[in-house]
Structure 1
Amino acid sequence: MGLTSNNTLALAVLAAVVLFIGTVWLWPRLARRSLRAVGGRVGLLFATQSVLFVSVGLAANQAFGFYASWADLLGKETTRGVVVDHAVGAPSGVPLQVIETRRVRGATGLRPSSGGQVEKVDIVGRTTDIATRAYVYLPPEYFQPRYRTRTFPAAVVLTGYPGTAQALVSKLHYPRTALDLAEDGRMQPMILVMLRPTVAPPRDTECVDVPGGPQTESFFAKDLPDAVSAHYRVGKKPGSWGIIGDSTGGYCALKLALHHPGVYAAGAGLSAYYDAPKDPTTGDLFHGDKGLRDRANLGWYLKHMPPPDTSLLVTSSRVGESNYKDTLKFIEQVKDTRLTRVSSIILESGGHNFNTWRREIPPTLEWISGRLGDH
């Protein structure tokens, strides 16, 4: 059974209940001071606590989407993603292939023209050779005859690390939120391209072009928009693309908007940080190249590079988020450029978690919709 399976969670909970009952039932028999009785008590307590711990861990993973599989959890997911051709007679090597379609959860109406559609896709980078899985939300208007010649703005949506792309659909509800906001007239219909920034698992590349390694920044700056634009009706003019992310994805979103304003007219970082970390999950991202190291620091970039013509949104909480002071400092740094525009969402309280981001996603989608062109 899979790590995220409801059956796995149910089995773990059942085992915890059985062990608890067994411990209560057998405890009088093990009340003696013999070595065997003491060993039995220790064994029962250890087994009960272990299964309880596993149950809580599985439930937390279900709620927050940290790991997608046992291999992902154990760090054994080492191979790059591969594009799998599921369509008979389809040409090999195409940059984007749809492998599954589904309706938007909770949408009224069964047709895509009334509730939109989510497509699971495999994407391969033409220039970077990076392959990854993503989910694409297409609004109802995309399927309506009166909009058949219209192109739509698009926003890349990134998870944190390690994160799962599926969580953006099922836990953070991006498609459903976009549908509701558009129906209420609070944002324009947009295409959402949802994936995780971990395109070379299990390594956390922080959206950096690693010397001799994965060219992650180039994938997001060129290959991904090219692949999506070649398959879907996305606007071709400047100002058609934006990018949103939380945590690691938020750092990536801000960095890509700063480094590539000609591609991303707006970038939103939810609970973002402002410099690439160095830890066991990242390894050596820069291989001693000080220029690359400095460029990855968003504060340094704003101070030393020409100010990019782009819009940024940052979020934090006065209580519960560790990035609060860094976020205030970043806002002032952006304001000093007098060209790059910055907005913020500052909550009174909220932790680094899905519940906080669900509160920030609706205004973030409204914000980014107002900054992208409809061509």
Structure 2
Amino acid sequence: MSLTGTPFLYTLVVLCVVAVVLPLVLWSRVRGPRVVRAAARVLMVVFAQGTAVALVFTMVNNSNQLYDNWGDLLGTSDHVHRAADLGASGTGGIALEKLPRVRQAFKPAKGPGMRAEGGVLTTELRGRVSGVQAEVNVWLPPQYHEPAYRNHRFPVVEVLPGYPGSSKAWYGTMDASQQLAPLMRRGQIEPFILVSPRTTLLPGKDTGCANIPGKVNADSWLSVDVPKMVMDNFRAKAAPDGWAVAGYSAGAHCAAKLAVAHPDRYRAAVSLSGYNDPGAVPQSLAGKSPALRAANNPYVLLKDARVAPRVALYLSGQPNDGYEAAMALKRVAKAPTTVRVVFIPTDAGGHTMALWKPQVVPAFRWLTEVMGSEHRTRTAPGTTPLAPSTAGSRHAELASGNVSPAGAARRP
């Protein structure tokens, strides 16, 4: 029975009802020695508490899409077949342009939000370079199947969840496709393809989106194998100008790091409540040694870059939750790197989906400004020309330096 399925949820609801009724009916009817009666009553109490905890956990999990399946929850899912040393490039010297085309079969994805706005397609991809085998979800914008766009190639945003987190979370809890599709139809937001690959690749470990020889090549999975598959199977623009990466929490750290580390693969990144130093996260494999911490810290990468990367960064955060890290990146960024920092006040909520969900539209308006210049000058028949727009939300209005807290923390 699926962890996130309706049958499992309903079964828990029935068991909770039984757990309440059972002691009401049997409490005074238990027979036998005192020890037996005490044990039976304790079991009834434990059963009631256990079913209640399980129901609450399941509802929270379904709402926030933390764990996709039993393997993720129990720490038994391993999606790494090999983890060769791929070197600094993350390709192991493989000439990517000479690799055969990746032909994938897709099917409709199941789960909350996966059927909205045309539905999400899913496939199981075996990464030729990374050695990772896992699911990749793809949502196509409304214009993708329109005749006027039959020869058009679409920009792509790779969307990443936090840790733990489901590859479906951006379509489910974040409602990204439902929020963006109407604006895409009206020509107010660029018609992006949204791609959400699995990021939980090892049992009970946050990979930090890093390449770690002998353990995992998460960076190459996300920045090499997944983009190649998408470009081989859909009318997607080529990297780097056609590609961006976005994430929240641990996924936000990954987004900033991937874009800064690979300006030849990504043009922009959106980081919602991210951090720079993976060593600050106990579960992160990327923080287990000084060398790994430096190699996967976007602040260090920007500060030490011989040539500033041509990437644009959109970084949002609250005090002590992403804002200081964002300001640190802004301070060390040099042209052509651009950084926009959005300050989110503490009264907007905490480190939850409720904080990040309202930021989807402002972030994608910014991505449209950064990556959608073609459509502001040439639009398909029957569509409204795209134009630069303000985010139109309280979060974005607070993006000016005038509202930043005095003496914002200086640490990276």
Give yes or no for TM over 0.5. yes
Q: Helix, strand or coil for the counterpart of 1:292?
A: helix
The equivalent of 1:344 in structure 2 is 341
Alpha-carbon displacement from aligned partner over 1:147-201 (angstroms, at most 9, x marks no partner): 1111111110111123112222222222222212212332111111112322445
The equivalent of 1:369 in structure 2 is 368
* Paired AA for residue 98 in structure 1: A
Q: Residues 155, 96 of structure 1: CA spacing in aligned structure 2 closer, same or farther, 3 A cutoff?
A: farther
* Paired AA for residue 40 in structure 1: A
The equivalent of 2:58 in structure 1 is 58
Deviation for aligned residue 1:332: 4.0
* Paired AA for residue 357 in structure 2: R
Deviation for aligned residue 1:373: 4.5
Range that drifts further, 273-282 or 261-270: 273-282
Q: Separation in 2 of the partners of 1:211 and 1:134?
A: 23
Q: Helix, strand or coil for the counterpart of 2:299?
A: helix
Q: Helix, strand or coil for the counterpart of 1:303?
A: helix
Identity %: 28
The equivalent of 1:24 in structure 2 is 24
Contact kept in structure 1, 2:197 and 2:226, CA below 8 Å? no
The equivalent of 1:44 in structure 2 is 44
* Paired AA for residue 341 in structure 1: T
* Paired AA for residue 77 in structure 2: E
Contact kept in structure 2, 1:244 and 1:269, CA below 8 Å? yes
Contact kept in structure 2, 1:135 and 1:193, CA below 8 Å? yes
Deviation for aligned residue 1:286: 7.3
The equivalent of 1:147 in structure 2 is 149
* Paired AA for residue 49 in structure 1: Q
Q: Separation in 2 of the partners of 1:29 and 1:100?
A: 54
* Paired AA for residue 371 in structure 2: L
Q: Helix, strand or coil for the counterpart of 1:315?
A: strand
The equivalent of 1:308 in structure 2 is 309
* Paired AA for residue 193 in structure 2: I
Q: Separation in 1 of the partners of 2:220 and 2:71?
A: 27
Q: Residues 81, 66 of structure 1: CA spacing in aligned structure 2 closer, same or farther, 3 A cutoff?
A: farther
Range that drifts further, 336-345 or 263-272: 336-345
Q: Separation in 1 of the partners of 2:33 and 2:343?
A: 59
**Structure 2, unpaired ranges of 5+:** 83-99, 375-412
Q: Helix, strand or coil for the counterpart of 1:371?
A: helix
**Structure 1, unpaired ranges of 5+:** 83-92, 108-115
Q: Separation in 1 of the partners of 2:344 and 2:353?
A: 14
Q: Residues 128, 104 of structure 1: CA spacing in aligned structure 2 closer, same or farther, 3 A cutoff?
A: closer
Contact kept in structure 2, 1:81 and 1:132, CA below 8 Å? no
Q: Helix, strand or coil for the counterpart of 2:158?
A: strand
Match of 2:269 among 267, 272, 283: 267
The equivalent of 1:194 in structure 2 is 196
Match of 1:323 among 321, 324, 342: 321
Contact kept in structure 2, 1:241 and 1:263, CA below 8 Å? yes
Range that drifts further, 212-221 or 131-140: 212-221
Deviation for aligned residue 1:305: 2.2
Match of 2:208 among 195, 200, 206: 206
Give 1 or 2: higher strand fraction: 1
Contact kept in structure 2, 1:98 and 1:119, CA below 8 Å? no
Q: Residues 50, 68 of structure 1: CA spacing in aligned structure 2 closer, same or farther, 3 A cutoff?
A: same
* Paired AA for residue 159 in structure 1: P
Deviation for aligned residue 1:2: 1.3
Q: Separation in 2 of the partners of 1:229 and 1:165?
A: 19
The equivalent of 1:97 in structure 2 is 104
* Paired AA for residue 296 in structure 1: N
Alpha-carbon displacement from aligned partner over 1:296-326 (angstroms, at most 9, x marks no partner): 12222232223322111122235xxx514xx
* Paired AA for residue 314 in structure 1: L
Q: Helix, strand or coil for the counterpart of 1:36?
A: helix
Q: Residues 333, 193 of structure 1: CA spacing in aligned structure 2 closer, same or farther, 3 A cutoff?
A: closer
